[in-house]
Amino acid sequence: MNFKGIALAVAAMASVNAYAANDVYGTVSEIHLRSGDNGDHDIYVRLDVMKDYSTFESCIIDGGTMTWDLDMSSPVMPQQYQMLQRSYSEKLPVVISGFADVCANGNTNSDKIFELSPWSWDAYLNKPQAN
């Protein structure tokens, strides 16, 4: 393997590890909206976690009850919120990846959404209906 190939492989592995913190699969079980007096607006969710597929950082107190915060300033927040609403209403699974620095302040029971994706929605939406 040449030097460029090795460098590319190392860079690819480093980028995967940089964001390999919480990686959680499940369906949205709760959506919470908060509009505070001091501009402390927030949207956060909880999942019915698919534990066989999910991984949690060691600082997460309870992966089954942890909360996921949306970044209210993110340009993709409306699309993320829409996807979370659909997961909640149609019980469609999503995968949420958190930030790598989630353990920077010690044990926690929440993370911020770094990446949100539908998971196997085609399989759920195209499932044959029982007669």
- Write out pLDDT tens, residues 37-89: 887 889 999 999 999 999 999 999 999 999 999 999 999 999 999 999 999 99
Dihedral sign for Cα atoms in the order 103, 92, 77, 39: negative
Residue 81 exposed, middle or buried by CB count within 10 Å (0-12, 13-18, 19+): middle
pTM of the model: 0.78
- Write out pLDDT tens, residues 6-32: 444 444 444 444 445 899 999 999 999
